Structure 1
Amino acid sequence: MTQTQARPDVRSGTPKPPSGWTQLKWYGPGLMWMISSVGSGSVLFTPRVGSRYGYEYLWALLIVILFMWVMIREVGRYTVVTGKTILDGYRDLPGPKNWAIWLIFLPQVVAAVVTIAGIAALVGSALMLALPGNQAVYAVAIILLSSVLVVSGRYSKVEKATSVMAGVLILAVGAAAIQVFPGVGEIAGGLVPGIGDDFDIEFLLPWLGFILAGAAGIMWFSYWVAAREYGGPVEDSAGADQPPDNLGDYDNDEDFQQRRRDRLQRWMRVMSTTAIVGVVGGGLVIVAFMVLGAELLQPEGIVPEGIAVAEDLTRLLSEVWGEFGYWLLLVSIVIALGGTIVANQDGWPRTFADATLILAGDRLNPEPSPEGHRDERLQWRRWLGDRDNMKNFYVIVTVTVLPLVVFFVVRDPVDILEVGGIVAAIHTPVIVGLTLYLNKTKLPEDLQPGWLATPIMVLSGLFFTAVAVLYFMIERFGMDL
């Protein structure tokens, strides 16, 4: 690494951070992240864990929520401080050119296609419980409607839609859980770490690995922070090989740089609070589903498979609240799954567009043709060189058309989601390691992860590495643990 590359990387300027009640307007990225993270994992796995174990592993849930808060905050840190997306940072890592971009990009394309298809299949199955029509009609409708929302509106419209969904989801699932809540004393027992006699790692691994967001969801927080312009607009450097032009200022005007870093510290606090909003909201939804599993399914001795979770929960809650309880929980499940599709269809294409622009470099921004000469290929390349156009291209292809093809070929949501789950499990420790290295080597010392965040990132990386290895061995090789 050259001396220039070793210098800290700070955005060239930053506006005044919000303060007081105005900060509430900046929590949209946290709510978007929350609604993207509580889809299939919460709906499918958490009630099953609650049914089999009650609250015995509540302590593990809280630890993973802490890990997730630190992970998304550290991804957001890089964007706030540098004005770049997280993939822009990965591009600058030492080694072969763009190796980290390829490592993220190709597997995530596979994960995006199968995850959208699988969750849409779950939505279709859930709606079939109470409405006329078949699974295919509902699955196709939710994919098409959410893609229209993402393509037709910029970030602000998607943020508003998912924020409303997040609020409704918390209220609905929370109200259902409160109705059957057993009391603080019973739940408090789950806060003490321990492993019971019925410990089944194969049963618990999918739940532990997919509590809240997977690897892609962690990166999306960087993109939503960038889209909301925390710390200022994104300073687009996709394809650039030269270091940022602010490094000279960093050496020559320390007073100016210190004022800028003070503002960035305050932006970091706003972003950190936004991350807390996301993980606390998502955590409340997951705990609510655990309560429903423990209080409704466990007394009946039911540990349902796949979408049968939704069927059994809605049936049992209707015995407590009547028809209102049935519809309340059904709406909650549909919002959890449908909202996840909307957020996923916004998050993945942002990542893919960024990766493509980095990998393509100047090839998508060619020099203008000679005067009077019109080259259609150059026009098309310049159109794709626009970040929003590239994002919409990926919305149509990778999270709309291809998922529809996969859905009609496979149909079974559990089989479809298994592939995406393996990619998420393997990629999460990769994201943790790359991000921690990036923040420790590229950022100014006073804007780097603190004394507590660093060991938590290391522990989370080790934890998800263990989950990934065990999950991969079980799913791919049938290893019996």
Structure 2
Amino acid sequence: MVSEKVQEDSPEKIKWTLVGPGLVAAATAVGAADMVATMIAGQRYGYALLWAVIAGTLMKIVLVEGAGRYTLATGNTIFHGWSQLGKWTSWYFAPYIVIWGLVYGAAGMSGAGLAMAALFPGTSLTMWAVLTGLLCFGLMWLGRYQIFENLIAVLVGVMFVTVVGIAILSVPNIPEILKGLVPTVPDGSFVYVLSIAGGVGGTITLAAYGYWLREKGWYSPKWMKVMRLDNNVAYAITGVFVIAMLILGAEMLYTANLAVADNDQGLVDMAYVLEDRYGLVMSKVFLVGFLAAAVSSVLGVWNGVSLMFADYVGHLKKLPADHPDTRSGGKYYRVYLIWLTFPPMLLLLLGKPTGLIITYGVLGALFMPFLGLTLLILLNTDRTPKEWRNGWLSNTFMAIISAAFLYLCINQLVGLF
């Protein structure tokens, strides 16, 4: 239910508030993997792919705005929209969310554990990963959205101050940055361009945006301007953060001809590079930013994807949209929260089975084109009121990003098999 405070607040009264569901969505989607991908792009190509980072940020603004616009215009969740497209959406979504949750749970906790183990050398990565999972589980169990949103805001602040601050201190090459604004595709970089423009900050949590709007109490078209401002500001903030990672890759690695691991370990490697260049304190500051990014992603998934699962079960059981079992803190929300936390801990202890990782890779590759293409359908048909359907600009951006996702999907599937 919408709280009394939310009911009293009008969109005009709070529309300049910067903290909202958009910041939650952006911070959740931009995690350790995206930091690594952008840093490696800077390591390999300098500033040449800066334009792709900016394009990717703009595309995410359009995609997430579309998910939010559908929710506010129709009063329905994104899964309700998918269910209108046929039973095939449920057949896909069920195995996807189960397998994705199991493997992401282990990966998300591992990322935070890696940062903590680097901050405190000699301690156990697995121990920190398990403690992170338990902490996030406890914080999200009660389903208090405002507490969750405030935590994300603090973590984004830490991410921004640490990583952007270090990027500024690295004295970036302004002429090279300006050259990077001109679209170019260096030899061998085509898939990287698509990965950065279409993939940075692109996960299932983009589809969770509408659920966070509902939890916030933004529930009808009168909140459309607020939602758009919230989304634009949030992705602008995280866009600057991602650009800062590219700057670090270009200034710390590309110019010095250094290489780091092409996975989460690469962020620890970057901390060592910073220690050699600026000293131990700067290294620790960077690791704190890494930790904030990792924990914000874990918290966001624990909350947002649990809400999606609860809505999915509610549709299967034909429960009313506001049934408490399908909302934050409800029965089905908590069931998925348990699934995200405890079974993945076994993967941390036993290792990740190769077959599960391959299946996860296939489903993960298929989700983003699924989101882009289904939004194109929902926002161009009578499933959305006419005044809130896509215009030509939104359709152009959504078509481009869906095509990029589809190409990346095919490329990943070919690589897997």
User: TM-score, length-normalised on structure 1?
Assistant: 0.78
Residues 53, 196 of structure 2: 8 Å contact kept: no
1:208/1:302 CA distance change after superposition, 3 Å: farther
Name the counterpart of 1:283.
Answer: 239
1:227 to 210, 215, 235: 215
Q: Does 1:41 align with 2:27?
A: no
Q: Does 1:84 align with 2:102?
A: no
Name the counterpart of 2:4.
Answer: none
Name the counterpart of 1:368.
Answer: none
Name the counterpart of 1:101.
Answer: 90
The letter of the residue matching 1:51 is: Q
The letter of the residue matching 1:285 is: F
Q: What is the Cα deviation at residue 30 of structure 1?
A: 1.3
1:183 to 173, 182, 187: 173
CA distance in 2, matches of 1:385, 1:191: 45
Give a deviation string over 1:237-293, Cα, whole Å, max 9, x none: xxxxxxxxxxxxxxxxxxxxxxxxxxx2x5212111111122212211111111111
Name the counterpart of 1:127.
Answer: 116
Deviates more, 1:457-466 or 1:310-319: 310-319
Q: Does 1:318 align with 2:275?
A: yes
CA distance in 2, matches of 1:118, 1:193: 33
Q: What is the Cα deviation at residue 324 of structure 1?
A: 2.0
Residues 314, 329 of structure 1: 8 Å contact kept: yes
Q: What is the Cα deviation at residue 114 of structure 1?
A: 0.8
Residues 198, 401 of structure 2: 8 Å contact kept: no
CA distance in 2, matches of 1:76, 1:24: 18
CA distance in 1, matches of 2:54, 2:193: 15
1:420/1:185 CA distance change after superposition, 3 Å: farther
1:439 to 379, 395, 405: 379
1:70 to 53, 57, 62: 62
Q: Does 1:114 align with 2:103?
A: yes
Q: Does 1:19 align with 2:12?
A: yes
Give a deviation string over 1:165-222, Cα, whole Å, max 9, x none: 111111111101000132321111111112223x2456666545530122x1221111
Give a deviation string over 1:400-445, Cα, whole Å, max 9, x none: 0122122222269x99877645433311111111122112221221
Q: Does 1:427 align with 2:415?
A: no
Name the counterpart of 1:333.
Answer: 290
Residues 87, 355 of structure 1: 8 Å contact kept: yes
Residues 128, 134 of structure 1: 8 Å contact kept: yes
Name the counterpart of 1:4.
Answer: none
Deviates more, 1:347-356 or 1:223-232: 223-232
> Gapped runs of 5+ residues in structure 2?
1-6
The letter of the residue matching 1:88 is: H
CA distance in 2, matches of 1:453, 1:341: 30
Name the counterpart of 2:309.
Answer: 352
Q: What is the Cα deviation at residue 361 of structure 1?
A: 2.0
SS in 2 for 1:56: coil
Q: What is the Cα deviation at residue 17 of structure 1?
A: 4.3
Q: Does 1:299 align with 2:255?
A: yes
CA distance in 2, matches of 1:280, 1:385: 32
Name the counterpart of 1:236.
Answer: none
Name the counterpart of 1:196.
Answer: 186
Q: What is the Cα deviation at residue 48 of structure 1?
A: 1.2
The letter of the residue matching 2:112 is: V
Deviates more, 1:204-213 or 1:463-472: 204-213
Residues 32, 290 of structure 2: 8 Å contact kept: no
1:39/1:362 CA distance change after superposition, 3 Å: closer
1:146/1:172 CA distance change after superposition, 3 Å: same
Q: Which runs of structure 2 are paired with 1:362-401 in the superposition (5 Å)?
A: 388-397=330-339, 399-401=340-342
The letter of the residue matching 2:180 is: G
1:134/1:451 CA distance change after superposition, 3 Å: same
Give a deviation string over 1:8-33, Cα, whole Å, max 9, x none: xxxxxx9984226x224463211111
Residues 52, 196 of structure 2: 8 Å contact kept: no
Name the counterpart of 2:163.
Answer: 173
CA distance in 2, matches of 1:448, 1:17: 24
User: TM-score, length-normalised on structure 2?
Assistant: 0.90
SS in 2 for 1:19: helix
1:57/1:346 CA distance change after superposition, 3 Å: same
CA distance in 2, matches of 1:468, 1:359: 29
CA distance in 1, matches of 2:56, 2:200: 7
Name the counterpart of 2:229.
Answer: 273
Name the counterpart of 1:454.
Answer: 395
How many residues end up aligned between the 2 structures?
A: 407
> Gapped runs of 5+ residues in structure 1?
1-13, 233-263, 366-381
The letter of the residue matching 2:152 is: T
SS in 1 for 2:11: coil
The letter of the residue matching 2:407 is: A
1:158/1:418 CA distance change after superposition, 3 Å: farther
CA distance in 2, matches of 1:383, 1:193: 49
2:153 to 155, 159, 163: 163
Residues 310, 325 of structure 2: 8 Å contact kept: no
Max Rg structure = 1
CA distance in 1, matches of 2:18, 2:237: 15
Name the counterpart of 1:257.
Answer: none
Name the counterpart of 2:409.
Answer: 468
The letter of the residue matching 1:65 is: T
CA distance in 1, matches of 2:147, 2:105: 20
2:202 to 191, 209, 213: 213
Q: Does 1:404 align with 2:396?
A: no
CA distance in 2, matches of 1:418, 1:203: 21
Residues 29, 205 of structure 2: 8 Å contact kept: yes
